[in-house]
């Protein structure tokens, strides 16, 4: 996968004992997003106080996720660009109006079936000005994937 000029890419991949459908849906269902996001934040040493999860799950639809941190509310938002359930989800990811204006932050989630589970891969292309944060970003996406897998058992019981 080639990245756009002026961008860098953070990558995270995880073999999961979870179906591609379940992982795909976990990115679009507000209650599941709230649970894995809170767990991922806690695993990073943050409070995990998720405040907003707003999802308009359709191509062109927008989302907003936020959590409280010491410095205040951290808000993440974007738009869904592509949805090919259960194999591919592409969305923008912004944390500031400047980032949104630059429009150089795109996340691609690909899910490949692997036996009873899948391999989930996230590639986050972002402005090259964030190159010092690639490793940190990879860790964040990796924690999200780990928590989706960890929490999937409780979702099976409720599905």
Q: What is the pLDDT of residues 115-145, one digit of tens each?
A: 999 999 999 999 999 999 999 999 999 999 9
Residue 156 confidence (pLDDT):
63
Q: Is 60 exposed, middle or buried (0-12, 13-18, 19+ CB in 10 A)?
A: exposed
The mean pLDDT of 50-71, rounded to a whole number, is 97
CATH number at residue 59: 3.30.530.20
Mean predicted lDDT score pLDDT of the chain: 93
Identify the domain containing residue 119 by its residue range: 7-158
Helix (H) or strand (E) holding 40: helix 30-43
Which tokens hold the place of 44?
């990073």
91 located within any domain: yes
How many structural domains comprise the chain? Answer: 1
1 located within any domain: no
* Residue 131, helix vs strand vs coil: helix
Q: From edge to edge, which strands make up the β-sheet containing 62-69?
A: 7-16, 117-127, 106-114, 88-92, 72-84, 62-69, 49-55
2 located within any domain: no
Q: At what angle do helices 30-43 and 134-158 cross, to 10 degrees?
A: 130
Read off the DSSP letter of residue 32.
H
């Amino acid at each position: 996968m080639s990245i756009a000029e002026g961008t860098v890419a953070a990558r995270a991949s995880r073999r999961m004992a979870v179906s591609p459908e379940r992982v795909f849906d976990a990115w679009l269902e507000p209650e599941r997003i709230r649970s894995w996001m809170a767990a991922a934040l806690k695993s990073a040493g943050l409070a995990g106080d998720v405040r907003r999860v707003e999802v308009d799950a359709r191509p062109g639809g927008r989302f907003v996720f936020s959590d409280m941190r010491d410095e205040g509310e951290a808000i993440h938002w974007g738009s869904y660009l592509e949805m090919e359930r259960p194999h591919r989800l592409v969305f923008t990811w912004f944390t500031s109006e400047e980032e949104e204006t630059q429009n150089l932050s795109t996340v691609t989630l690909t899910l490949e079936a692997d036996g009873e589970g899948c391999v989930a891969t996230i590639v986050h292309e972002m402005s090259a000005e964030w190159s010092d944060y690639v490793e940190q970003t990879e860790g964040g996406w990796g924690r999200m994937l780990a928590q989706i897998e960890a929490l999937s058992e409780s979702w099976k019981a409720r599905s």
